[in-house]
Chains A and B, each alone.
Chain A
Amino acid sequence: MSNQAPVHQGRLKTPFYSRLEKLDFVNEWHQWKGYSSADSLYCSDTEYFAIRNATAVFDLTPMTKYRITGPDSLDYLNRLVTRDMAKIKPGRVAYAVWCDDQGQVIDDGTIFHIREGEYRLCSQERHFAWLQAAAIGFDVTITHETGDVAALAVQGPTSFSTLNNMGFEGLADLKPFGLKHFDFQGRELMISRTGFTGDLGYELWIEPAKAEALWDALFEAGKLHGIRAIGTTALELSRIEAGFLAAYMEFLPADETVRTGRSRSPLELGLEWLVDFKKPNFNGRRALAEEKRHGSTWQLVKLDIEGNKVAHSSYIFGQEKSNKAAIGFVTSAAWSPVCKQNIALGTVRAPRGKPGDTLWVEVYYQREMHWNRHMAKARVVDKPFWFPPRRGATPPGPY
């Protein structure tokens, strides 16, 4: 038909695509919010070990980014998220979660206090409609800037050494959840000590025109530190080891659920430390206070499971004999090479699932076409599976 608008591009390429393409051996890509994103570039196992043993570089440009500015930006954010944003000074980053009026999680993400009164909110999912609705009555401007900022995660024990080679003065003093601005070839480069791997690591934010130059300088600096580009498969494994949540895995964004009871509250996701009831008002406060009084329905659990069969999609039971109804299910599972543990995240009926509890998971696995299942003992653990001292050390040691 003649009146159809021409489609210029079916899928977007990030400003780093030209560099990723050269390193790509396996041609495994998927779509992430309209962009091509690599599952793996060479071998996901090797990429995973770059995260844990060297420097891994992940292109996180498709990550949703919103700029929040204006005189009311602090009041705005303080109503939006459950934690107290007044405590997050310029140069600091906050992990935060935001809810609807019923106290159900819409998404989690990081909020960067870039400069006084100027913020960037990053999340996996898009939330422009909600952020705009939340802006009614506030003097703030919300700008969707996903495509205007090129971003890289630089993660792993040698990530500091790599970046230090590039001559960023004062990077050594940057504490976890801190951010600093540096000059890169005459343009501003923002570096934050944040990441999704639970390891020592940084995230780099720059204008798209400087993306390729940054990539080249970074890989040159990391040559002797084992630098390697990675895809999402390796990242996902490190995410589970770090015990981080992912939307559509550990929870569904509340505005995407249809059935009642399919969303989760921050309390049910083990994020009570992020909910500041001292704040007089925030979205979901009334409902969460009510939930705290009466008890939650669900409880997120981190499970250390016996054996080596990964508990993908397993039902969770309160006891070994599974003739009783299941009390929950696994949401993410993996064999952790670095911990040498069979690990999983899951959701169970509260008040079950307290740290130290013993639960049982029904593990399904296939051997030569035939399916098998067995009950495996699972211990509920409190701490992340992987939390190396280097993650919190300032200055980070040279590796």
Chain B
Amino acid sequence: MTDQYDAIIVGAGHNGLVCSALLARAGKRVLVLEANEQVGGAAITREFADGYSVSACAHLLYQLQPAVRKELKLTPRMASSELTTIALGEGGKHLRLDNKQVEGVNREDAAHYREFRKRMSRFSDLLRKFFNKPPPRLGSKDLKDLVTLGQLGLDLRMLGKDEMREFLRLIGMNIYDELTERFEHPLLRGAISLDAVLGTHLGPRSPNTIMTYLYRQAGDHGQCGIPAGGMGSVSNELAHVARSEGATIRTGIPVKRIIVENGRVAGVETEFGDRFDSFTVISNADPKRTIMDLIGVKHVETGFTRRIHHLRAKGNAAKLHLALDGLPNFAGLSKKDFVERLVIAPSANYVERAFNPAKYGESSPKPVIEMTFPSCRDETMAPTGKHVMSAVVQYAPYDLNGGWTDEAKAAFEKVVIETIAEYAPDIGGRVTASELLTPVDIEREFHISGGHWHHAELTLDQFMFVRPVSSAAQYSMPLEGLYLCGAGTHPGGGVSGAAGRNAARTILSREKAA
């Protein structure tokens, strides 16, 4: 069976769906092939225990780009939004932070926080501008590249001399130094550290963790929410939009390889042996999987292969899902607080210490945890009166010494529950079912090499002009007809849709130029 399409997208992750919708709107005949039974990639909702559902990987919506919302007329129905972050402290002395102010600290800290947030918002607005266009090629004489580069410089300069200098000082820096200089309260330092390192293989003392902090803010100034029905509902809405634009989306069809003929892409072959033809194939898969497995290094050049091979993309964040027969008792929290986002990161040093063992292939004995209880506002997630907890837990390195055996997973799950029990002693007794997804499980379930949120570590050497690698940072790969549109490309991971949108725009503008 063969069939000719204008574009085939490998993977129906949210970026693939955004890309497919925009291409289909431009009149392209688009086919999306998804290996899993559900669309959404790492943004799906699924049952993990009888009657208990959860957003299986990404669990908070905070980065969906306004441009994507607007162009695709997305109106995700939210179960909760503008969540407050509650930084859990000893004896019920918690801090409450939003993207403007913090409660529970002294006057100086509160004032410094307001000032800090103001500046960070300004900087993240600047980043958002860059995130929504393909990065310019450095050294290029192409007018479009030059204009984008000029705009970038101008935007930077428009911050004003002092703020520009501050931006350039901060962007490569670690967040630890900035936090210890600015704030006194350990919980405040810890909570901000957590935001800077979530989903990365970085500690607060690692370079460019201010950049990763800003990255998180570049959607909606860091305001997060939980969609009704979990993250899967956002993906379903995206798929609905794409289909109504005319895209064909087929699930349960794993692509075995991208076919290369006469030195260019010619289509895809599925695991079932079917072939679909297209001279444009856009991979929503991560760069390593795309190049090393789906394409095959024989079809690309050595320098490029070497760079892709050396991409750092080993995940360090685990997901823990708990089915609870009732809400646990956290000292100092009332029932309505369970709607919010709870974090265990009591100090910046705590976060750094949690990271230390991960460098040597060990999981954290005292992990950093971000918890949500989506069933508090959304009764579809758990049976009546029961609850689910969805938590991101760090650090759980992909290449754990000895591997993620069942024993290793059970031991780590125990550590996590014990850590939460320091704040909610009864949580252990309330667990009726659980599921731990280590980066290895995430790799298997979501087909992400290394199980990394961002498909490739979010560091300055894999960012902007050089993401995923130099000479291939404009969605187009050095093989005719091959494009990437996933988190491994500019700007990176998170449910933002920016990469998918930029990729679609690149493909369409190239076609126009040709």
Shortest beta-carbon distance from A277 to chain B in Å: 9
Check if A136 sits within 8 Å of B305, measured CB to CB. yes
Shortest beta-carbon distance from A91 to chain B in Å: 26
Provided the pairs A136-B309, A137-B305, A280-B263 are in contact, do residues A101 and B471 lie with their beta carbons within 8 angstroms?
Answer: yes
A347 interface residue (CB < 8 Å to B): no
Residue of A nearest to B478 (CB): A286
Interface size on B, residues (CB 8 A): 19
Q: List B residues 442-465 near A (Cβ within 8 Å).
A: none
Please give, as numbers and ranges, the residues of chain A lying within 8 Å of B297 by CB-CB distance: 79, 136-138
Check if A133 sits within 8 Å of B305, measured CB to CB. yes
Residue of B nearest to A80 (CB): B302
Check if A130 sits within 8 Å of B302, measured CB to CB. yes
Measured between alpha carbons, how far is A137 from B299 in the docked complex, in Å? 11
Check if B302 sits within 8 Å of A280, measured CB to CB. no
Residue of B nearest to A260 (CB): B139
Shortest beta-carbon distance from A140 to chain B in Å: 12
Measured between alpha carbons, how far is A298 from B312 in the docked complex, in Å? 38
Shortest beta-carbon distance from B196 to chain A in Å: 33
A39 interface residue (CB < 8 Å to B): no
Measured between alpha carbons, how far is A19 from B398 in the docked complex, in Å? 58
A 323-360 to B, binary, CB cutoff 8 A, 1 in contact else 0 = 00000000000000000000000000000000000000
Check if A100 sits within 8 Å of B302, measured CB to CB. yes
A37 interface residue (CB < 8 Å to B): no
Q: List B residues 461-479 near A (Cβ within 8 Å).
A: 471, 478
Q: List A residues 131-145 near B (Cβ within 8 Å).
A: 133-134, 136-138
Prevailing SS type, chain A contact patch: loop
Please give, as numbers and ranges, the residues of chain B lying within 8 Å of A253 by CB-CB distance: none
Q: List A residues 284-318 near B (Cβ within 8 Å).
A: 284-286
A161 interface residue (CB < 8 Å to B): no
B404 interface residue (CB < 8 Å to A): no
Q: List A residues 14-46 near B (Cβ within 8 Å).
A: none
Q: List B residues 290-319 near A (Cβ within 8 Å).
A: 292, 296-306, 309
Check if A281 sits within 8 Å of B298, measured CB to CB. yes
Residue of A nearest to B261 (CB): A280
Measured between alpha carbons, how far is A215 from B304 in the docked complex, in Å? 45
A75 interface residue (CB < 8 Å to B): yes
* Residue from the list B292, B296, B301 in contact with A283, Cβ < 8 A: B301
* Residue from the list A75, A138, A280, A281 in contact with B301, Cβ < 8 A: A281
A 116-154 to B, binary, CB cutoff 8 A, 1 in contact else 0 = 000000000000001001101110000000000000000
Check if A79 sits within 8 Å of B478, measured CB to CB. no
Measured between alpha carbons, how far is A100 from B301 in the docked complex, in Å? 8
Check if B292 sits within 8 Å of A101, measured CB to CB. no
Please give, as numbers and ranges, the residues of chain B lying within 8 Å of A282 by CB-CB distance: 301
Interface size on A, residues (CB 8 A): 19
Provided the pairs A136-B309, A137-B296 are in contact, do residues A101 and B302 lie with their beta carbons within 8 angstroms?
Answer: yes
B334 interface residue (CB < 8 Å to A): no
* Residue from the list A130, A133, A283, A285 in contact with B263, Cβ < 8 A: A285
Residue of A nearest to B262 (CB): A280
Q: List A residues 84-125 near B (Cβ within 8 Å).
A: 100-102
Please give, as numbers and ranges, the residues of chain B lying within 8 Å of A75 by CB-CB distance: 298
Please give, as numbers and ranges, the residues of chain B lying within 8 Å of A286 by CB-CB distance: 301, 478
Check if B298 sits within 8 Å of A133, measured CB to CB. no
Measured between alpha carbons, how far is A136 from B293 in the docked complex, in Å? 12
Check if A101 sits within 8 Å of B301, measured CB to CB. yes
Measured between alpha carbons, how far is A80 from B298 in the docked complex, in Å? 10
Residue of A nearest to B264 (CB): A280
Please give, as numbers and ranges, the residues of chain A lying within 8 Å of B261 by CB-CB distance: 280
Check if A284 sits within 8 Å of B262, measured CB to CB. no
Measured between alpha carbons, how far is A281 from B298 in the docked complex, in Å? 8
Check if B292 sits within 8 Å of A137, measured CB to CB. yes
Shortest beta-carbon distance from B420 to chain A in Å: 43
Measured between alpha carbons, how far is A105 from B124 in the docked complex, in Å? 44
Shortest beta-carbon distance from B466 to chain A in Å: 15
Measured between alpha carbons, how far is A136 from B301 in the docked complex, in Å? 11
Please give, as numbers and ranges, the residues of chain B lying within 8 Å of A285 by CB-CB distance: 263, 301
Shortest beta-carbon distance from A117 to chain B in Å: 16
Please give, as numbers and ranges, the residues of chain B lying within 8 Å of A283 by CB-CB distance: 301-303
Measured between alpha carbons, how far is A136 from B291 in the docked complex, in Å? 12
Please give, as numbers and ranges, the residues of chain A lying within 8 Å of B478 by CB-CB distance: 101, 286
Check if B303 sits within 8 Å of A101, measured CB to CB. yes
Which of B260, B292, B302 has the largest count of A CB atoms less than 10 A from its CB?
A: B302
Residue of A nearest to B306 (CB): A133
* Residue from the list A80, A101, A138 in contact with B304, Cβ < 8 A: A101
Shortest beta-carbon distance from B313 to chain A in Å: 15
Q: A79-B301, A80-B302, A285-B263 are in contact. List 19 more A-B contacts (CB 8 A).
A: A100-B303, A101-B478, A102-B303, A130-B302, A133-B303, A136-B302, A136-B306, A137-B296, A137-B297, A137-B309, A280-B261, A280-B262, A280-B299, A281-B300, A283-B301, A283-B303, A284-B301, A285-B301, A286-B478
Query: Which A residues are within 8 Å of any B CB, using their own CB?
Result: 75, 79-80, 100-102, 130, 133-134, 136-138, 280-286
Name 18 A/B residue pairs within 8 A (Cβ), A-sorted: A75-B298, A79-B302, A101-B302, A133-B303, A133-B309, A136-B297, A136-B306, A137-B298, A138-B298, A280-B261, A280-B299, A281-B298, A281-B299, A281-B301, A283-B301, A283-B302, A285-B301, A286-B478
